[in-house]
Chains A and B, each alone.
Chain A
Amino acid sequence: DADVTQTPRNRITKTGKRIMLECSQTKGHDRMYWYRQDPGLGLRLIYYSFDVKDINKGEISDGYSVSRQAQAKFSLSLESAIPNQTALYFCATSDQLTNTQYFGPGTRLTVL
């Protein structure tokens, strides 16, 4: 079984809709992250959380919000989706010793 899972894997939505992307992990890590991937831009950090009570903005948090419901769950919301939020979204966890990132399979989001 995968250590980091994401749902849904694919989503098509319309401009203005609210959507939520969910992430669960069984690695027991406290640290969790949301990234987006765009062609030619690599990965950019949206939000990160070091524990259930700790939420921090990344470099591109505008238009997004997150919720850390438990150590194992970290969800990303788009309050009012817009077309330039069309991208591949990854959830990740990391270990504290080497900061190695463990990624989920990704959610491909299309905003029409």
Chain B
Amino acid sequence: GEDVEQSLFLSVREGDSSVINCTYTDSSSTYLYWYKQEPGAGLQLLTYIFSNMDMKQDQRLTVLLNKKDKHLSLRIADTQTGDSAIYFCAESEDGGYQKVTFGTGTKLQVIP
């Protein structure tokens, strides 16, 4: 079945850039997403990228997609303490029920 993998933990200093990586196995993925989960809250969509795109930029966020290697990354520029959270990568399959598969989440710790 589909699998989405992420490293569990990332620590960065405030003001630096953060790069969170994700690999997936489903070659028929249509959309790929990044969600953010703050303590005590549900997941919130940060951004998504359609599978025919290589890059998407939204303010401090840059998403890069390498379809050949099935690799997705999220870069957060000028990381702030408010960016501390768990970040989930997810992919949606094409057709049928369009199942969404989530990664295990990467906990980002921002050090002041």
Contact = CB atoms under 8 A, between A and B. Distances in A.
Interface of A: 4, 40-43, 45, 48, 50, 56, 90, 92, 94, 98-106
B102 interface: yes
B88 A90 contact: no
Contacts of B103: 42
Contacts of B33: 100-101
Nearest to A104: B42
Interface string B81-104: 000000010101000011110111
B14 to A, nearest CB: 26
B87 to A, nearest CB: 12
A55 B58 CA distance: 36
A100 B48 contact: yes
Given A56-B97, A100-B48, A40 B41 contact: no
